[in-house]
Amino acid sequence: MRAFVSYVAAAALFVTGISHARADSYPNRPITWVIPSGAGSASDANARVVAKVLGDKLGQPILIDNRPGAGGIVAAEFVAQAKPDGYTMLYATSGPVATFAAFYKKLSYQPLQAFVPVHGFLDTSFVLVANATKPYKTIEAFVDYLKKNPGKVNYASQGTATTPHLSGELFQMATDTRMEHVPYKTAANFYADLLAGNVDVVFDYGASVKPYIETGKVRPIATTAATRLKNFPDVPTLKERNIDMVFGGWSCIVMPAGTPPDVVNTMSAKFADAMRDPTVVQFLDANDYGTLTHLGPADLKAFIASEIERFKKLADKTGISLD
């Protein structure tokens, strides 16, 4: 019996030793960060800024892998099926890890079963922009136009049930108006149509819309933020114009389910460290990005679960259901 106890103790020490060795050696090769949008998008741009700093802190490069499509599902499915060794992680927007679980009848994965939460990332409001040739120049004029022309204005997004799409749904509910939603595969495609006048309006992140506003071909009308955004000080919030709507999108870092806890904790700590780096802080502040840096693995898991429940209520309210 004593020999058996000694064997068990030795085995436990051996396993513990492996765990410590793995934590101490991780990472020993490049890490792939899968981005759910195309090269040149706002998500791609902010990921590259963080990736450079994160790679320096980890001592290994972070390789950006752009996999746009289906509002982020393409990227999510890829990471869900990746080897859970800490060398593949997902730039998870709220759609693939929360919203879609509420709106899709059949999703190829369940977020909290397919992924292990690592760390919170961004929390960002939207800017409502319109093609500059359209007759509405203010939010009041836009609402008035919608009421007089129900269903004749369209708005684009990266896909059904993405947060830009839901922004439009919430806006219609808050203003008792009706618009036509047009889903696109990528933002680059709908911006081309917005500039051409084929798309009327878009709800999107400030960093995404700013370059188009600067061309003079796109006009900002309002924001979904609680207070005015730094980069758009002259653009009113919906709330201050008596439209009861404050809304935005968030993102986080997740890895495939089964990734060892010590690896997750190492990445979470280093990611938090990178988010505090002056280069990253300055970039995010300059582009009106809020953050969820207070969310480590456990708190992020609880946050995602609460968001899934919140979006289920929104799904019931809007009646949106997807196969």
Give residue 128's pLDDT: 98
In the structure, how many helices (H) and strands (E) does the chain have? 13, 10
pLDDT average, residue stretch 43-54: 97
Each domain of the chain, given as residue ranges in start order, spans: 29-123+249-318, 125-241
Dihedrals phi, psi of 115, to nearest 5 degrees? -130, 155
Q: Does residue 239 register a pLDDT over 60? A: yes
Give residue 285's pLDDT: 93
pLDDT average, residue stretch 256-279: 98
125-241 and 29-123+249-318 share a CATH fold? yes
pLDDT average, residue stretch 282-291: 93
Percent of the chain at pLDDT exceeding 90: 83
Fold of 29-123+249-318: D-Maltodextrin-Binding Protein; domain 2 (3.40.190)
Task: Choose between 24 and 318: higher pLDDT.
Answer: 318
Give residue 323's pLDDT: 74
Query: Which residues have CB under 8 Å from 191's CB, separation 6+?
Result: 202, 212
Beta-bridged to residue 238, according to DSSP, are none
Quote the strand ranges of the chain, DSSP E. 31-35, 62-66, 88-93, 115-131, 154-157, 180-183, 201-205, 218-223, 248-256, 290-291
Residue 61 is given by DSSP the state P
CATH 3.40.190.10 describes domain 125-241? yes
- The residue written with tokens 């708190």 in the block is 299
Query: Which residues have CB under 8 Å from 195's CB, separation 6+?
Result: 131, 212, 215, 217, 218
Q: Where are the alpha helices (DSSP H) in 149-257?
A: 163-175, 187-196, 206-214
